[in-house]
Structure 1
Amino acid sequence: MKILRQFLIILLISLLGEILSWLLPFPVPASVYGLVLMMAALMTGAILIPQVKEAAVILIELMPVMFIPAAVGLMTVWEKLRPMVVPVIVITFVTTLLVMGATGLVTQKVIEKTEKGSEN
């Protein structure tokens, strides 16, 4: 029953994200709204981590399985994708490096701010 309750909490947050996506005129996916709502609920204490932890772990463990249909779909259109493989690989590599660099810089700034705040 505990895990079922946790899944229901996660599904409720996802449903609220879908509703926000439907109501608001912004081109933001419902899943992003759901993630923002879940983060806000966790940060404010409206939802505590133990209330969703086990269900979240199960969903994270199942995530790789969800990519199998997409990979199979790519295999079925390989002939159309072949001319674009090199540009896609280059773009993927460059954007990965940019995201890693930006994440590192932001993390360093947050750590510096946290250390300065704890010294005062």
Structure 2
Amino acid sequence: MKQIKQFFWIFLFSLLGEIVSALLSNFIAIPGSVIGMVLFFCALHFKWVRMDQVDEVGTWLTNNMGIFFVPAGVGLMAHFGILANTWWQLLVIMVVTTTLMIAFVGRIVQAVKSKELEAETKSADTLEEVEVEADVV
């Protein structure tokens, strides 16, 4: 019974996301699943839904995430003829975008790390100055 209630919360927000997506479809195209996840995140964040109300089923779903890739894989195989004509273009796009994303994330991590190092160095210098002043007095 507990799992049914947990599935209810997850499906409820999925349904709400689909409804909002249908209402917004004339203005902007956002998948209902994405809107549902954002709504569910907000509900968890603002404690409208507690984590223990969805923990078991959520853990099971993330542990078995491969199940959700089966329909996409079947769709790829069903339309293999379309992909066969453009496989090299897709390969180039994947290589270029992956390389750019790795470089972008690397730059962001370097910037964050250098800021953290600057902050640590600054606080250590300030602490040393306070210790020196304390020794002088």
- TM-score, normalised with respect to structure 2: 0.67
Q: Deviations over 1:5-35 (max 9, x none)?
A: 1110111111111111111232111111101
Secondary structure of 2:93's counterpart equals helix
Equivalent position to 2:50, from 48, 51, 63 = 48
Partner residue of 1:74? 76
Bigger drift between 75-84 and 45-54 goes to: 75-84
How far is the alpha carbon of 1:69 from its aligned partner?
3.1
TM-score using structure 1 length: 0.75
Higher Cα Rg, which structure: 2
Structure 2: stretches of 5+ with no match in the other structure? 124-137
Corresponding position of 1:59: 61
Aligned residues: 114
Quote how far apart the aligned CAs of 1:80 are: 3.1
For residue 42 of structure 1, report the CA deviation from its aligned partner: 1.3
Which is worse superposed, 29-38 or 71-80?
Answer: 71-80
Deviations 1:59-88 (A, max 9, x none): 223321232233233224333322311221
> 1:40, 1:102 → 2: CA distance?
28
Q: Which runs of 5+ in 1 are unaligned?
A: none
Pick 1 or 2: higher relative contact order, CA cutoff 8 A, min separation 6.
1
Bigger drift between 12-21 and 97-106 goes to: 97-106
Compare 32-41 and 18-27 and name the one that shifted more.
Answer: 18-27
CA distance in 2: counterparts of 1:7 and 1:103, whole angstroms: 35
